[in-house]
């Protein structure tokens, strides 16, 4: 008996892509364009892992100019603007670069509720497109409630530090894997690469066999 193609597609188990990223990384934001398209064309599950690009940033955040020299910053911003425009991604960052530890902590809570992918995409949009301060607990609570999470639980998680150690352990594990930059992608095929690669590279990695 011939099985209809749509029937087979419906019951294909999704392949998991392990993604290491940080919410302040513009290349991670640009990578969303590739991942969103990939999720429409292949049966994939996106699993986000925390990575702390700048764990030294104070709670109040710092301006970009405090991280990069003016000439380097100008070149980097021009490149990012060009690529986001080409991808149709809005770019409207806040003045300060936040510490992302607490944003990752709520990411763990969202993952436990089956909202990990939705939360990560929402936080990237909040920071890069809506100029919201994702280092602020109240802002993280707003983002979470927009996804159906409980505001009081979000604030309690941050107050008690329920996932604080888990984020530190996950970040250390990423370093132990040799990951020194994000986004970093690990595919079920064993293929892995970093950076916002062309879309075809994502397709090849998903379709490859072990």
Length of the chain: 210
DSSP 3-state of 191: coil
What range defines the domain where residue 134 resides? 16-207
Asked if the structure places residue 9 within a domain, the reply is no
> How far out from the chain centre does Cα 204 lie?
21
Distance CA 8, CA 65 (A): 52
Lowest mean pLDDT among 4-13, 55-64, 88-97: 4-13
Kindly state the tokens that stand for 81: 């603007």
In sequence order, the β-bridge partners of residue 12 are none
Number of domains in the chain: 1
Q: Over the stretch 88-116, which tens digit does the pLDDT of each residue have?
A: 999 999 989 999 999 999 999 999 999 99
Express each pLDDT in 68-86 by its tens digit: 899 999 999 999 999 999 9
In a domain, 149, yes or no: yes
Task: Identify whether 96 is part of a domain.
Answer: yes
What distance in Å separates the CA atoms of residue 68 and residue 149, rounded to the nearest whole number? 36
pLDDT value of position 210 = 53
Q: How many CB atoms lie within 10 A of CB 110?
A: 23
What is the pTM (predicted TM-score) of this model?
A: 0.90
Q: What is the CATH number of the domain that holds 176?
A: 3.40.30.10
């Amino acid at each position: 008996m011939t099985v209809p193609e749509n029937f087979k597609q419906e019951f294909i188990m999704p392949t998991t892509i392990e993604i290491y990223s940080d919410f302040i990384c513009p290349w991670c934001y640009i990578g969303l364009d590739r991942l969103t398209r990939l999720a429409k064309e292949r049966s994939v599950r996106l699993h986000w892992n925390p990575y702390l690009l700048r764990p030294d940033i104070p709670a109040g955040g710092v301006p970009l100019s405090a991280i990069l020299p003016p000439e380097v910053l100008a070149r980097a911003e021009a490149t990012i603007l060009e690529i986001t425009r080409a991808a149709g991604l809005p770019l409207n960052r806040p003045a300060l670069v936040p510490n992302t530890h607490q944003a990752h902590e709520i990411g763990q809570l969202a993952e436990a509720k089956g909202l990990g992918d939705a939360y990560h995409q929402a936080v990237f949009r909040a920071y890069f497109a809506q100029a919201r301060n994702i280092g602020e607990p109240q802002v993280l609570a707003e983002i979470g409630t927009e996804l159906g999470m409980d505001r009081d639980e979000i604030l309690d998680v941050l107050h008690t530090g329920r996932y604080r150690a888990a984020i530190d352990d996950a970040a250390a594990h990423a370093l132990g894997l040799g990951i020194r930059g994000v986004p970093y992608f690990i595919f079920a095929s064993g293929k892995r690469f970093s950076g916002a690669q062309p879309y075809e590279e994502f397709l090849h990695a998903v379709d490859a066999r072990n």
